[in-house]
Chain A
Amino acid sequence: QSALTQPASVSGSPGQSITVSCTGTNSDIGIYKYVSWYQHHPDKAPKLLIYEVNNRPSGVSNRFSGSKSGNTASLTISGLQADDEADYYCSSYTSSHTVAFGTGTKVTVL
């Protein structure tokens, strides 16, 4: 079971938009709509931001949006804010009946 591939870091200035990519294979992202995104601040519990590729749970800001094309999923954060500085992880259901997380991306607000 391999982790999905994410960039180690992405940065942006307040108010800008950034995109975090998540690359999998045709055994996970490529064939399932079960792609999720999580925000993880240090020493806190991870928080679900996006489920089923592009759906937001109740209470999650509409500044967070998700998409998928082929084997790659993406998370876009618009109107970047200081509190968005955190680690972000994608995940996908796999054909082995497991869940694969991404390698994680540290988002820095300049």
Chain B
Amino acid sequence: EVQLVESGGGLVQPGGSLRLSCAASGFTFSRYSMNWVRQAPGKGLEWISYTSSSSTATYYADSVKGRLTISRDNAKDSLYLQMNSLRAEDTAVYYCAREGGDRAGYGMDVWGQGTTVTVSS
């Protein structure tokens, strides 16, 4: 079964750091580009970052650039999101999502169930 499972969410103070993980199974992870998408409480979906299959291309939303870093380990079938200098507005459910094609925006065809990050003192 094709599956993505996020972990690492939790409660963190403003200015703190957190590292999210996404474990892939059921498909050849190294062949696919990946994204992180979030949804703040009561808000819509917000794309935040993309990495190509071999990490040669990474893109970020302006709202997270310089604070969040996407990375992957193809040997471990895992995607990561290092989150630094966290703000209250980063509070959200964070999803990892597989890109169905060979470029950003092609269509995210597999999603995890999400992990919740709460930034609060």
Contacts and interface: CB of A to CB of B under 8 A. Distances in A.
Interface size class of A (residues with CB under 8 A): 20 to 34
B44 A57 contact: no
Given A98-B47, A101-B44, A101-B47, A93 B103 contact: yes
Given A45-B95, A48-B108, A92-B105, A57 B100 contact: yes
B91 interface: no
A36 interface: yes
Contacts of B45: 38, 40, 46, 89, 91, 101, 104
A87 B39 CA distance: 12
A102 B113 CA distance: 20
Contacts of B104: 34, 93, 97-99
Interface of B: 35, 37, 44-47, 50, 59-63, 95, 97, 100-101, 103-109, 111-114
